[in-house]
Structure 1
Amino acid sequence: MHDFAADIAACAKDVEAGLAQHLDVARLSGPGPAAERVVAAMRHGALDGGKRLRPLLVRQAAAIFNVSPANALTAGLAVEMVHCYSLIHDDLPAMDDDDLRRGRLTVHKAFDEASAILAGDALLTHAFGLLADPICHPDPSVRIALVTELVAGSGAGGMVGGQMRDIEGEQGGFSGDQISTMQAMKTGALIRASVRMGAILGGADARALSVVTAYAEAAGRAFQLADDILDVTATPEAMGKATGKDANAGKQTLVAQLGLDGAKVRLAQTVNDALSALRTFGPKADGLRATARYFASREN
């Protein structure tokens, strides 16, 4: 039986140590000395919290193809830095305007708005520096493929585009499948990229990459649906941030569309879709299976 608790704890520990080592004034300097305030803001936004689920997905997908956790870490750090930048920017007054993240002050509250913007910019920039470094993978073609994958997951056709669609939906409403499209981009695209990057690290062929992609897309839908449900059912203390914001803002979500019970049924179906996609991989994919189940059962 896969020990998910041990798996996620080990990954979080490795990611925390890796980020703490990398987000250092000396390491980030060149050609000039890195500004200490922006590095401090980067560390505030990236360290001491978070479940590190995206690096975990990188690690678990890579494990299917016999890549060790150590050899999947650098790519996982890059994904987590992109995720942390997105949270810093999402919390800004011009976006979601949140004061708390992971139970403490958001970066723009702990520092100021300009520092938060620059900290996010720097995390995003240095993420791609990590992927370009030979320590990530010895083969330059693999490193280029990883960069391309993370660009797709985080750019205008992925996470950033999904955030834009979310803002547009708040202003003009969603119709048809627009909510699902927005969520597949805003949340799902980086989850998709994480899984695919793990497979790319392992040299997956086109068929295997297609299989893990089907899993990743279903897992991304499950994660966002669980998030929407938690926004309705969880306390701010459990979440470490404000809850009920979607309903208070009149925001259209799948929970609002389907009702709470309907959303829970849809979540169970979506997790089953993710698990079904992995049938061909056997026990090597137990980590990914456990994470999909966790998405449905998490409480924060």
Structure 2
Amino acid sequence: MTFDFVQHLASAAKRIDTALEDILHNQAGEMEITRPARLIAAMRHGALNGGKRLRPVLMMESAALFDADPGQVVPAACALELIHCYSLVHDDLPAMDDDDLRRGQPTVHKAFDDATAILAGDALLTLAFDIIADEKIHQDPAVRLRLSRELARAAGIGGMAGGQMLDLESEHRQRTEAEIRQLQAMKTGALLRYACRAGAILAQASPEDVDSLTRFGEIIGLAFQLADDLLDVEASPEAMGKATGKDAEAGKATLVGLLGPEKTRQELVQLLDDANKLLEPFGERARVLRALAGFIVTRPS
């Protein structure tokens, strides 16, 4: 039977959507007092809006290489996706990227208000660490602690949040190629790197295999950002479900702006080749990861 990647990706994304629906419920949990309806509604608006779920799917497929229990992986993947969703809610705020649309829908601060969007992002971030610490993630508390600490570092000062700060500081300022690569490795790459690395850690893969998946995640992180920058330059707002051309408008430094579209495409081809070489030792078991790498490079939105 021919492998249908598009159907597989849609099915995996649906599994994450269903799990997130269950997580973002209205009933107060143990040691919670109540869950304000407006806050939950804003959190759901920011998290249940039809995303591709690439980060959690990457974690799921990385863990699947080593036969990890999906019942453990899906909640951990949801924790990662909640971090990603919080970052989008905050990035869209007027003080940051000031976007009105996200995936063709009003952004959280437009659908609600700025204060509610800030609180929704805060709550999504906090909930992620509640989930990753749960015993159902893994029976070994040392594994849960490692996943939690590495998630904090991928999302925090030296990862995504720090990269966003560097990106804001890059507006209308010249950046070297090395500086741009560093900020992109933090802003976008850190969570994608974590997704692949955490899948291997959760499955208790060998240190060598964890290193291989970590490097794969680094390559995919850079490829994702390069493809995203190309789309910002070349795709229509309708295809993207949000405004395009905003990096140039804000005077932000990007590798596409520095290297040009053609050299960027050439680098994407090389990155995809490098990613596939890392997966060769895993053979047919890595077919979904190979397909994901190709999708990230060639996606239309």
**TM (normalized to structure 1)?**
0.97
Given that 1:165 and 1:182 are in contact with CA atoms closer than 8 Å, whether structure 2 keeps it comes out as yes
- The match for 2:119 is 118
Is 1:173 the counterpart of 2:174? The answer is: yes
Distance 2:203 2:28 in 1: 28
1:249 Cα deviation after fit = 2.2
- The match for 1:5 is 6
With over 3 angstroms needed to count, the CA separation of the structure-2 counterparts of 1:2 and 1:162, relative to structure 1, is farther
1:6 Cα deviation after fit = 2.1
Is 1:14 the counterpart of 2:10? The answer is: no
Percent identity over the alignment?
A: 52
Distance 2:22 2:190 in 1: 27
- The match for 2:130 is 129
The one-letter code matched in structure 2 to 1:212 is L
- The match for 2:216 is 215
Given that 2:173 and 2:252 are in contact with CA atoms closer than 8 Å, whether structure 1 keeps it comes out as no
The one-letter code matched in structure 2 to 1:26 is Q
Is 1:85 the counterpart of 2:86? The answer is: yes
1:27 Cα deviation after fit = 4.4
Matches within 5 A, 1:43-54: 43-54=44-55
Matches within 5 A, 1:195-206: 195-206=196-207
**TM (normalized to structure 2)?**
0.96
Deviations 1:222-246 (A, max 9, x none): 0000000000111101100000111
Is 1:138 the counterpart of 2:174? The answer is: no
- The match for 1:152 is 153
The one-letter code matched in structure 1 to 2:170 is G
- The match for 1:67 is 68
The one-letter code matched in structure 2 to 1:3 is D
After superposing the two structures, state which structure 1 stretch, 2-11 or 126-135, moved more.
2-11
The one-letter code matched in structure 2 to 1:226 is A
The one-letter code matched in structure 2 to 1:255 is V
Given that 1:2 and 1:290 are in contact with CA atoms closer than 8 Å, whether structure 2 keeps it comes out as no
Distance 1:22 1:237 in 2: 31
With over 3 angstroms needed to count, the CA separation of the structure-2 counterparts of 1:228 and 1:42, relative to structure 1, is same
Given that 1:22 and 1:28 are in contact with CA atoms closer than 8 Å, whether structure 2 keeps it comes out as no
- The match for 1:256 is 257
The one-letter code matched in structure 1 to 2:240 is M
- The match for 1:107 is 108
Distance 2:22 2:116 in 1: 21
The one-letter code matched in structure 2 to 1:197 is A
The one-letter code matched in structure 1 to 2:238 is E
Matches within 5 A, 1:173-192: 173-192=174-193
The one-letter code matched in structure 1 to 2:226 is L
Deviations 1:96-154 (A, max 9, x none): 00000010100000000000000000000010110111111222111111101211211
1:170 Cα deviation after fit = 1.1
Distance 1:31 1:20 in 2: 18
Is 1:194 the counterpart of 2:195? The answer is: yes
Distance 2:102 2:183 in 1: 22
1:70 Cα deviation after fit = 3.3
Given that 2:177 and 2:258 are in contact with CA atoms closer than 8 Å, whether structure 1 keeps it comes out as no
Distance 1:113 1:30 in 2: 28
After superposing the two structures, state which structure 1 stretch, 117-126 or 149-158, moved more.
149-158
Distance 1:72 1:164 in 2: 31
Structure 2 gap segments, 5+ residues each = none
The one-letter code matched in structure 2 to 1:218 is I
Distance 2:177 2:17 in 1: 40
Distance 2:183 2:297 in 1: 20
Is 1:33 the counterpart of 2:37? The answer is: no
